[in-house]
Amino acid sequence: MIKVEINARLHEEARVASAKFELKPAAGVAALRDQIAEQLRISVLWADEQEAMIGHIKAYVQWGTEAALMLSTTGSAVEVKGSDLPSDEPEIAEVGITGIVFGTELEALEDRLEGMAAAIAGQNGQWCVYAHECEHHHHDHEHGEDCTCGDHDHHHHHHEHDEACSCHEQEHHHEHEHDHHDHHDHDHHDHED
């Protein structure tokens, strides 16, 4: 099981989301790099379907403290930079993905990053749970289906983790761990053990 930290926020017209997780690369760092590159290419197609504009979507793979690969796309080709591939395959690699996209909903970008994490995890024989910190409302919010809350600082009180919620920041975003299937009505990838 992989725990994926997801953060999402708005910055003027930019939709900003990031995901970070650790995993054991089942077939090595080179294969992991290729899996991430494929997900970036899929993200370009996704943005085209959304009629959105990619500012950039970047990812890194890090092993140890000094070695890292970076992959990025601005809506066309995927570029790769960074360290040479390891001579000894690491037990654990850290993966981070960040996307800044214009012309789509923040939740859609968040879903895309979840999908990327799920696909990468699946290709390495693992599945994900998600921990979110976000600045958007959820469709099953207690404000109801008619909620048209468009406030960028909108926060949600209904969360099933209310008792554990330690909302203390001025922008009132909640940090929570949950099985993402429980209370989001947007499409998620099914996980297999």
Partner 1 sequence: MKVLLLSGFLGSGKTSALLQMAAYMVRRSGRKDTSVMIIENEIGEVGVDDKVLKAQGLAVRELFAGCACCTGGADLISDIRTIQETVDPEWIIIEATGVAYPLEIKNNVEACFRIPVKILSMADAGRWKRLHSYMPQLIEAQVDSADCILLNKVDLVDEETADHIAGELHAYNPQAELHKVIANKPIDDAVWAFLER
Nearer to partner 1, 58 or 138 (CB): 58
CB of 3 closer than 8 Å to CB of 20: no
Residue 17 neighbours by CB under 8 Å, 6+ apart: 6, 7, 8, 9, 98, 99, 106, 109, 110, 112, 113
Q: Which is nearer to partner 1, 28 or 55 (CB)?
A: 55
Long-range contacts of 122-125 (CB under 8 A, 24+ apart): 122/189, 122/191, 122/192, 123/26, 123/35, 124/23, 124/24, 124/25, 124/26, 124/27, 124/32, 124/35, 125/26
In the complex, the smallest distance separating the C-beta of residue 58 from partner 1, rounded to whole angstroms, is: 4
- CB of residue 13 vs partner 1: minimum separation in angstroms? 7
- If one asks whether residue 62 binds partner 1 (CB under 8 A), the answer comes out as yes
Please pick, from the candidates 23, 35, 58, 184, the single residue that binds partner 1 as defined by CB under 8 A. Answer: 58
- Distance in angstroms (rounded) separating the CA atoms of residues 158 and 153: 16
Q: Which stretch binds partner 1 (CB under 8 A): 5-13, 23-31, 135-143, 184-192?
A: 5-13
Q: At what angle do helices 106-123 and 29-50 cross, to 10 degrees?
A: 150
Taking the C-alpha atoms of 127, 133, 139 and 142 in order, what is their torsion angle to the nearest 10 degrees? 120
Which segment (8-16, 34-42, 117-125, 172-180) binds partner 1 by CB under 8 A? 8-16
DSSP 90: -
Q: Report the nearest approach of partner 1 to the CB of residue 98 (Å).
A: 4
| Min CB(63)–partner 1 separation in Å | 11
CB of 191 to partner 1, least distance (A): 22
Site for partner 1 in 80-139 (CB under 8 A): 81-83, 96-98, 100, 102, 133
| Contacting residues toward partner 1, per CB under 8 A | 5, 7, 9, 11-14, 16-20, 53, 55-56, 58-60, 62, 66-68, 70, 72, 74-75, 81-83, 96-98, 100, 102, 133
